[in-house]
Structure 1
Amino acid sequence: MLKGFKKFLMRGNVLDLAVAVVIGAAFGAIVNSFVKDLLTPLIAAIGGQPHFEGLTLRVGSGEIRYGNFLNAIVSFLIVASVIYFLVITPYERLTARFSTPEETKLRECPECLSEIPKAAVRCRHCTAQVAPMS
């Protein structure tokens, strides 16, 4: 029983996932600090509000604090942008470059130009006789 658990923990994808979570959390902390300590004070200097955390909305006797929510939205947008532009887009380009195009199993009928299987000897649409391809 312990042997199987040890084997599970030592698999590469479990360790890769653990490293990704730790690095992701550290990156999230850096982005949150950037937004909270650098970006929002810069925006606040232009807008006149010293800190976004102090932004509130009074509704009746209640108070809605939406400043931290704005910080979280900006942080999320930055993290999502970095992941998309620095991870997803290069990965898609790389896989597109090294992938082989899938060989099609269809061809055009020379008479009606509809798609038919390569091995067909007669078109199912116009019933024209066609030479088989291999």
Structure 2
Amino acid sequence: MLKGFKDFLMRGNVVDLAVAVVIGTAFTAIVTAFTTSLIKPLISALGSTETRGLGIQLRAGKEDTYLDFSNVINATINFVIVAAVVYFVLVLPIKKIQDRRKRGEEAGPAEPTDVELLKEIRDLLASQQATTPQPPATDRRGPAI
């Protein structure tokens, strides 16, 4: 069971996913700060000066009955920015890489197998030995006494 868990963790996809989550979280914080600090005040400026921004107070004197439209618009802009960055930085480049790989996988000439290569080498060596003159055989035991 532990070996299977180790294999799962050692896959490249798990590490890539963990990095993506961490970077995505950090990027979302940046986009949220941007929209909360810059976009929301601009949207709230569209509301009247007597309210807290772009929204409606349902019951006077009761703070929790305020419908804040600027928060909804802010969250929508936040989502669109994050989705656009994920698409253009991650999805689109990976899709292009996958398309290139698919084009490269078209059937080409088949590679020879190891056995076929060894047979070719054997045949070449045999043909070379047949064309070169062989030196006379010598006795390796040394001179006779």
**Shorter-chain TM-score: what band?**
0.5 to 0.7
1:20 lines up with 2:23 in the alignment: no
The amino acid across from 1:40 in the alignment is K
Whole-angstrom CA distance in 1 between matches of 2:33 and 2:11: 34
Larger Rg: 1 or 2? 2
Higher relative contact order (CA 8 A, sep 6+): 2
Whole-angstrom CA distance in 2 between matches of 1:83 and 1:67: 24
In structure 1, stretches of 5+ residues that fail to align are: 104-134
Question: What is the percentage of aligned positions where both structures have the same residue?
Answer: 50
In structure 2, stretches of 5+ residues that fail to align are: 107-145
Whole-angstrom CA distance in 2 between matches of 1:55 and 1:4: 54
Equivalent residues, number: 100
1:59 lines up with 2:62 in the alignment: no
* Structure 2 counterpart of 1:68, from 63, 67, 71: 71
- The CA RMSD over aligned residues, in Å, is 3.3
Matches within 5 A, 1:1-134: 1-44=1-44, 47=46, 54-59=53-58, 62-97=65-100, 99-100=102-103
The amino acid across from 2:32 in the alignment is N
Give, in angstroms, the shift of residue 9 of structure 1: 1.6
Which structure has the highest helix share of the two?
A: 2
Give, in angstroms, the shift of residue 95 of structure 1: 4.2
Which structure has the highest strand share of the two?
A: 1
Whole-angstrom CA distance in 1 between matches of 2:91 and 2:7: 31
Output the TM-score relative to the length of structure 1.
0.55
